[in-house]
Amino acid sequence: MLDILSLLDITFFLLAALGALVGIIFGAIPGMTATMAVAVCLPLTYALGLNHGLALLLGLYVGGISGGMVPAVLLNIPGTPSSITTTFDGFPMAQKGEGERALRVCVVASVIGGLISAIVLFLFAPLLAEFSIKFSYVEKFLIILLALTVIASMSRNMLVGIFSGVIGIWLSLIGTYSISDGGNGKTRLMFDFLEPYLFEGFSLLPVLIGIFGIATILLEAEEGIKSGLASQNIKFGKGGGFSFGIFRGRLTNLVRSSFIGTFVGMLPGVGGSAASVLAYTQEKNLSRDSSEMGKGAPQGLMASESANNALTGGALIPLLSLGIPGDSTTAVLIGAFTLQGIQVGPLFIPENADTWYVMMTALVFANIVMFFLMFYAIKHIAKVVLVPKYILYPIIVMMCVVGAYAINYGIMFDVWTLLIFGVLGYLIQKVGLEVAPLIIGFILGGQAEVYFVKSLESAGSYGIFFTKSPIALVLWGLIAASVIFSVVMGLKSQAKRQVEAS
């Protein structure tokens, strides 16, 4: 235990705090998300050691998710997708002149959600890792298949979701079938003249930075970079009016919402909005006094914000124990970990116990810093929603370039990858394909290939995927369940639409 304490120095805590602050600022600017905060700030971690890098990244993650509450309450615009339900009660409260009170309720709910999910992560991830350590290639392949099915079934349209995921897998196969994975080292899916650039395929981080950074800028540019925010008046209300008494009798709500958030966070690729919407509707259904919800009731804020901060711990569970990212932010984190030489997966926690404790410390500390920063300095932080975009966006493009260029120590092709995937990300979103499944497919595609081909090479029959072990059958059951769930939900909503139409 003592040697872990020696890994935690002042710089570690300062970086976690800095990360939380920068994350909050990113989250608070509408249109920018925690994912972007992590992607844009990646170059800063290149030069940091493992522990310091983790502190900064986790700070950014927690801060980014939390910051979304600021514009949600003050402007009725969710700063991140997961704070959508915060607008329902937050904006009415701000209209009544209770903006600061609403934000403080959100902050307290957020820190509770974050800490509960950190506890669940701490207890559950090692168990899951220990369980999955015995998995052979067959089960690992099926886990990836399950992850992709779950993501797809949570998409707006399952078919489109799966299609997007498979496109992601296809993109990940460009390059060589790596010899280090037992392949034959030959290239595929490209023209010969591209071989010097694409020998190892597209690098993960430029792809992610392109899709989350450049594509967002393009989408905003198409809308004409609206500058309308400054004209809206922001209603803070007078300070005070907040006391912890608001939370009396709300413990069930907080705990329930936190657990909902953690659980939804665990499901791979499911966006944060699902967590807060689910928590909000549960509070509405189960609470005795839900009539005020939607008109400015603090309990709605509590449900929404505790659920969306609980995502952080939840999304880290599959990342650290299975190597499967739980959402798009953790997808960027996986790239950052690889950069630091960490291979996430079942062996991560047992083999890197120190790193694991350091991560938990950073996560908890980032939550606490987030709380104090936002609780006491919220008035000042909230002003960043007014920073003009014509200043902000050029800086973001610049940081994207740094991140992409420096990642492999100065390869200009990585910068062009940024543009390629920026444009691709823009097109994907325009034609209605889904980004999250595509990214997860891209990240997991390479591994899926190795697990699939190696299983078949050793067994010589497709039957191995069914007969390998009872776990394989359970996984097939889960895959079938998520497909059926999605189909049933699809039919239900179709029937509902027809009823409404007639």
In the complex, which residues of this chain contact another protein (CB under 8 A)?
43-44, 46-47, 157, 159-160, 162-163, 166-167, 169-170, 173, 176-177, 183-189, 214, 217-218, 221-225, 227, 388-391, 393-395, 397-399, 401-402, 405-406, 409-410, 412, 415-416, 419, 422-423, 427, 430-432, 448-449, 452-453, 456-457, 460-463
Distance CA 396, CA 378 (A): 24
Residue 285 burial class via C-beta count within 10 angstroms: exposed 0-12, middle 13-18, buried 19 and up: exposed
Residues found in the chain: 502
User: Which residue number, 122 or 416, has a Cβ lying nearer to another protein?
Assistant: 416
Q: Nearer to another protein by C-beta: 172 or 367?
A: 172
Asked if 41 and 53 count as a contact pair (C-beta separation under 8 A), the reply is no
Structure-token pair, residue 45:
């971690």
What does the H/E/C string look like for 364-420? HHHHHHHHHHHHHHHHHHHHHHHCCHHHHHHHHHHHHHHHHHHHCCCCHHHHHHHHH
Shortest reach from residue 25's CB to another protein, in Å: 15
In the complex, least distance from residue 401 CB atom to another protein, rounded to whole angstroms: 7
CB of 247 to another protein, least distance (A): 41
CB 75 to another protein: min, Å: 19
The residue among 290 and 469 lying less far from another protein, judged by its C-beta, is 469
Nearer to another protein, 244 or 462 (CB): 462
Sequence-distant (6+) residues with CB within 8 A of 75 are 30, 91, 229, 232, 234, 385
Closest distance between another protein and the C-beta of residue 446, in Å? Answer: 10
Residue whose CB is less far from another protein, 87 or 176 = 176
Query: CB of 113: closest distance to another protein in angstroms?
Result: 33
CA distances from residue 255 to 278, 317, 452 in whole angstroms, order as listed:
14, 18, 40
Q: How far is the CB of 29 from another protein (least distance, A)?
A: 14
Closer to another protein by CB, 240 or 463: give it. 463
Please, are residues 178 and 187 in contact by the beta-carbon 8 Å criterion?
no
Task: Return the number of the residue (245 or 460) whose C-beta is nearest another protein.
Answer: 460
Residues 6 or more apart whose Cβ sits within 8 Å of residue 324: 143, 144, 147, 268, 318, 440, 444
Cβ proximity to another protein: between 130 and 222 the closer is 222
User: Cβ of residue 220: shortest distance to another protein, in angstroms?
Assistant: 9
Q: Which of 43, 323 has the CB closer to another protein?
A: 43
Other CB atoms within 10 Å distance of the CB of residue 334: 22
* Cβ proximity to another protein, 60 vs 401, nearer residue: 401
At 391, list the tokens.
């200043």
Q: What SS3 class is residue 475?
A: helix
Give min distance, CB of 89 to another protein, in A: 33
Q: How far is the CB of 347 from another protein (least distance, A)?
A: 24
CA distances from 329 to 20, 68, 80, 493 (A): 15, 14, 12, 29
- The span from the CA of 260 to the CA of 258, in Å, is 5
Q: What gap in Å lies between CA 310 and CA 263, rounded to an integer?
A: 9
C-alpha dist (Å) from residue 335 to 31, 70, 305, 398: 23, 29, 27, 20
Q: Supply the minimum distance, in Å, between the C-beta of residue 44 and another protein.
A: 8
| Nearest-10 crossing angle of helices 435-459, 328-339 | 60
By beta-carbon proximity to another protein, the closer residue of 98 and 139 is 139
